[in-house]
Amino acid sequence: MQLSGVLGHKRLTALISRAIDRGTLPPTLLFAGPSGVGKWMVARATAQAVNCLEPLRSPLPYDACGKCRSCDRIARGVHVDVIAIEPDDRASIKIDVIRDVLERTGYRPFEGKLRVILIREADTLETSAQNSLLKSLEEPPPGTMFILTTAAPGVLLPTVRSRCMRLRFGRLTATEVTTALVRDHGQTEAEARAAAPLADGSIGQALALSDTDLSELRDSAIALLQQTSGRADTPARLQAATNLVGQKGKERDREELAVVLRLTASMLRDIEAINAGADRAVLANPVIVDDLSNLARSFAGDRARTAFGAVDRALTALDRNAGTKVVAEWLAVQL
Ligand SMILES: [Zn+2]
């Protein structure tokens, strides 16, 4: 993977490329941001760029060629100087693994220009493993750089965090997720377009969702719109909220409710498109086009857009740990 081939994160990849070109790339980097957005991919692309034997100068100032012996070996994971450390089966990285790798940094890079130590999900490093890294992060051995990636930087020891230059990765746009699903994961355009709006800007989440049966969640989202459309009175709306979160003892968890709300949001976008007379081929939910067309009249004018804004606020509230029942009731009244 080249830096220029990474989807999204253009500002960060340009920054990394410029820094490599000028020789100012810090030797200890921490890539922080939501999981599944491509941090690990950028880490590997960086390792490839700094070790490439025939680096490209366009479109970025400095990038891997993707073809030389070094690029090829890194892509296949067999380059001796690019060491990737990932959590074990128990989702932890043990001190022995780190000790073993640090021992190797006593020697100059064997075949590469730079030895790059990549640590994935660095928040899973045992405390002792983190402590054993401190000295090397403070003063990396000559010819060695570290890239740590994490979705939970707050879990790392402050002493580890403070020794790394932090780059913040944001979420991808729905379009970027769609492109990635088609380009890198063999999904059809239609599959990708249905999954992307639910993925919250994370390719990882889109892939996890594609293994889930969405039909039940989709039914809940349609029901919510149907039960709040027209002139539903307050008791009917509160009932819709109860249906949304589930009966006592069988309540939906926060994550599942969030997926239903993202589905609702993507349906409201479709309804807006239908009302605007858009081509059906552009809809994210073509399988339920009849239900959506029936709802379109109730959500005419600005109502679909206003409702979309309300769903968006409900999702933000969920993200900030508001109670599921409170959020559902607020939303059912707003729609
Ligand atoms: Zn190369």
Model confidence over 206-220: pLDDT tens digits? 988 877 778 888 999
Tokens standing for residue 109: 């890079």
Cα of 172 vs centre of ligand 1, distance in Å, is 27
Cα of 51 vs centre of ligand 1, distance in Å, is 7
Q: How confident is the model at residue 154, as a pLDDT?
A: 93
Averaged in consecutive runs of 10 residues, what is the pLDDT profile of the chain (335 residues)?
A: 94 98 97 95 97 96 97 94 94 95 87 92 96 95 95 95 96 92 91 85 88 84 91 88 86 90 93 90 85 92 92 93 93 93
Cα of 1 vs centre of ligand 1, distance in Å, is 10
Cα of 75 vs centre of ligand 1, distance in Å, is 10
Environment class of residue 211 by beta-carbon count within 10 Å: exposed (0-12), middle (13-18) or buried (19+)? exposed
Cα of 111 vs centre of ligand 1, distance in Å, is 13
Cα of 110 vs centre of ligand 1, distance in Å, is 17
Q: How confident is the model at residue 195, as a pLDDT?
A: 85
Q: How confident is the model at residue 108, as a pLDDT?
A: 84
Phi then psi dihedrals of residue 150, to 5 deg:
-160, 150
Question: Rounded to whole angstroms, how far apart are CA atoms 335 and 331?
Answer: 6
Cα of 56 vs centre of ligand 1, distance in Å, is 8
SS3 at position 82:
strand
Cα of 36 vs centre of ligand 1, distance in Å, is 26
Question: Rounded to whole angstroms, how far apart are CA atoms 64 and 11?
Answer: 17
Q: How confident is the model at residue 149, as a pLDDT?
A: 98
Q: How confident is the model at residue 39, as a pLDDT?
A: 97
Q: How confident is the model at residue 248, as a pLDDT?
A: 75
**Residue 327: CB partners within 8 Å, gap ≥ 6?**
257, 314, 317, 318
Q: How confident is the model at residue 121, as a pLDDT?
A: 96
Cα of 91 vs centre of ligand 1, distance in Å, is 32
Cβ-contact 98, 132 below 8 angstroms: yes
Cα of 112 vs centre of ligand 1, distance in Å, is 11
The three state secondary structure string of 218-278 is HHHHHHHHHHHCCCCCHHHHHHHHHHHHCCCCCCCCHHHHHHHHHHHHHHHHHHHHHHCCC
Cα of 76 vs centre of ligand 1, distance in Å, is 13
Cα of 72 vs centre of ligand 1, distance in Å, is 7
Residue 124 DSSP label = G
Cα of 4 vs centre of ligand 1, distance in Å, is 13
Encoded amino acid at 200, one letter: D
Phi then psi dihedrals of residue 100, to 5 deg:
-60, -45
Q: How confident is the model at residue 163, as a pLDDT?
A: 96
